[in-house]
Structure 1
């Protein structure tokens, strides 16, 4: 039986986190962290089954051209470096980080379809990107999803919406 788990946190510099480091870890990839001029390498990490970098239908041209012809991890690296460069404060909040447990009873393909539906309804329909990866530790299929805290604009990023 599936164990429900859905958690949301914020990737923030003030707590020593980085959007690029978080993305590299989730994608099990090697990424350049431009702000600190260093390489982050998680290529030895295992468990990645699937990855997607999804943009809203009305995504601005700068974003589409920035990620064109890149791998999923490459699109993630470019995008989160742009976010890191945009945010100037030492305590900046960089991304929303969502972890979702997936049902054990579903196949990998069914869980991917479930996540695609969730992303379309709740993330990209709101004008946000969805950078998500499907990990499968034995008995623990789950997704890590990162999205922005600022809306996308034609020039970059807009103001954060405070609820």
Structure 2
């Protein structure tokens, strides 16, 4: 008989490397207990890790268990305890998308002239529409921003 908690923790640790080439990620597992995981690191590495872990988790459980996540970007000196609180609330929002609780929620709520916008997606929509279509644009934006920050400083 195995301990679900121990197996899940081993799963998270084993999948801390990139699924496609097994190189180490620039992430740190801050907490892993029960069915929860809290990781911090470079925004793109954390996002890719979430997608990889979700994909491996789905394969390992043959879709029997679902995977919810919260994702947010913080300034480097932002308190980790507050990061955990905010991402936990995003995870709760992801779980509330439907009865399957198989989603990711990003960035919190945004006020717009058209009302509040939330960025909560079922995983398939997130991977196919947001990641595959938009990730390159996001990486280009942050890459250009980093170059400007470096050039000025």
TM-score scaled by length of structure 2: 0.28
Q: Which has the higher helix share?
A: 2
Larger Rg: 2
Greater relative contact order (Cα < 8 A, sep 6+): 1
Q: Which has the higher strand share?
A: 1
